[in-house]
Structure 1
Amino acid sequence: MNQQRPLSRTSPGTGPGSPAAAAVPVLNVGFVLTDNFTLSAFSLMVDQFRLAADDGDRSRPIRARWQVMSSHPEPIRASCGVTVSPSGPLAEPTGFDYIIVVGGLLHGGQHVDDETVAWLKRGARAGVPLVGVCTGSFVLARAGLMTGRRCCVSWYHYQDFLEEFPHHTPVADRLYVIDGDRITCAGGGGAADLATALVEKHLGRSAAQKGRHILQLDRQRPGSESQPHPPIADLVADDRVRRALLMMEQHLADPLPIADIARRLQLSTRQLERLFQTVMGQRPAEFYRGLRLRYARFLLDTTGRSVTDIALEAGFSDCAHFSRQFKAQHGFTPSDARAQSPGPMARNLAAQRLFE
């Protein structure tokens, strides 16, 4: 992985009079990677900065620079087992436009050491924007740096965050949240969208588009766009029903037969039917269908995909069957729902105003 040496006013290895030697970077970014960080969140962000920093795909840090910092010289292990060597020690925080903390696996151990926490607090006191990506939001909250701020977390960790920080305000229905000089991102693909927004703010729209085109990423999503549907299972106390709901949520495009779900839970189909009726007030097949229709409505509201594609993605065999079921539940057709939605373009325009 391409690593940069500590920040300087000229690019290392360039001769006098070269563009790299003359340029002062417009965007300086410092990364802090936690123990067991999420590699995809880090790589999606750093590659956006890399591609925006230079012409073509030459990776010279001219218009933007980035570095991975650590309080110790040892490589930092990602949750997938890959290690990244830090480019240098913790540098002066005011030298950065953003300090980005990339989190990963939640576990009982310490994600960053006391020296790093003290350094983050120093950056906060100096007014440097702090960014928490994935469970980096937990790191910032544990350091007392999210008090009174909205904090974006993945729906997957929403309950974990609420239990650990009951006096904070977690947001799990958006890709990322900007609250003054604190920015938090749920992670996953949203990390690429946040990086695009930061590049566009500092380096312009063409630089942001270039990175996404080279990485073959689709349209830029604003932070206000919804995360993929959150699980209902977390709200259910009965362990057997909760496990059944998780199976359903993980098999929306290829629905499992109810008998298969019952078998995996070591229940008879009749037992599962009675259990669902008691806990959820519906038969499992009815609830499963409603879950898939809810997912379809989410796709209609937040993507530009065709109704036929959405029908297949939500596990319906054909568009006509999907349309009948959708209208029976909502009282209007999928085409009517699409017409009522502001659409991706309108949401993008609204997001752009945040950075103007």
Structure 2
Amino acid sequence: MSSNNGIILRKHIDPVEGYPKVGEHFGLEERPFNLEAAKVDEEHPLLLRNIYTSIDPYIRIRMQSPQRKSYLPSLDLGQVIPNLTLAEVVKSAVPEYKTGSHVVFMSGWEEYTFVPKDAMKMVQPISNPYNLPLMTFVGALGMPSQTAYVGLKHVGKPKAGETIYISAASGAVGQVAGQLAKSMGLYVVGSAGSDEKIAHLKELGYDAAFNYKNESVHDALPRLCPKGIDIYFENVGGETLDAVLMNANFHARIIFCGAISQYNNPNPYGLKNYAQILTKSLTIEGFIVMNLIPLYQEEYFREMPKLIAEGKLKYKYDVYKGLGSIPEGLIGVLQGKNFGKALAKIADE
């Protein structure tokens, strides 16, 4: 008898309650599984063996109580926590998916996943003409990189010579957004939470960067963005956004991607400088990548794999080993401890 252990939600937790606790709010559930006897059929055409899975901060939003409405519904208690996963097809009832082939699917944090018939359109077969490492398809080509690409190009609408500031710049989204912005001729400024991360940003080509734990964002932005800010790629929210509003140029664009400083904050930050939105005619656009990427998917996969294969887009990973390490990984992401894109390796390739 094999196993199909999973990371499940045990108790809802709202943002004002702080960080989720491993064991109390979510954790590993051991589940026996008879792989040999498992059958695929019309209702569940694929059985996947999950190999690499993404660890992303948006999962925290799905852990809140159902009374809080968001762009994705809250998870049910006892539900395996889903996230984008690179998996191998181990059993198939449809000829276009061969056993042994690899796909990306919202499998979740478990060892094996049955794909229901109504979710087959979400299964993405892997095309790998550049022979990239498999983890690339949930890492450097995964959802955070898609967020950076779509957010910058199609929400920020950058122009050469403009100044862009990116918060959480060494994270999964920021490291890609910064490199793409630099390639488009922008002056690129970033912030991160350690001197090691700042050094990495300089290696990636950032023109300037600061450690927000050592220097106030209110002091750093006027110093590093002397011409003001034309585009802000928002990943953290709170006081950082307030400082950006004061340093933004007229008609600046704010790409509202995330607000990680507020996801576990018992005392949510209240914006003080919001009147700047009016007086500077600012545009703030929140976007959800899963709503936009279908419009640009062909363009994205035509351009990005080539950049990675040619070494023109560098990407740093923080890889956790084993299914049981995922809760620790999520807490680390929420606390800003990760350095690069957080992934977990559930099984060998």
| Larger RCO of the pair (alpha carbons < 8 Å, separation 6+) | 2
Larger strand percent: 2
Larger helix percent: 1
Q: TM-score range by the shorter chain?
A: under 0.3
* TM-score, with length taken from structure 2: 0.28
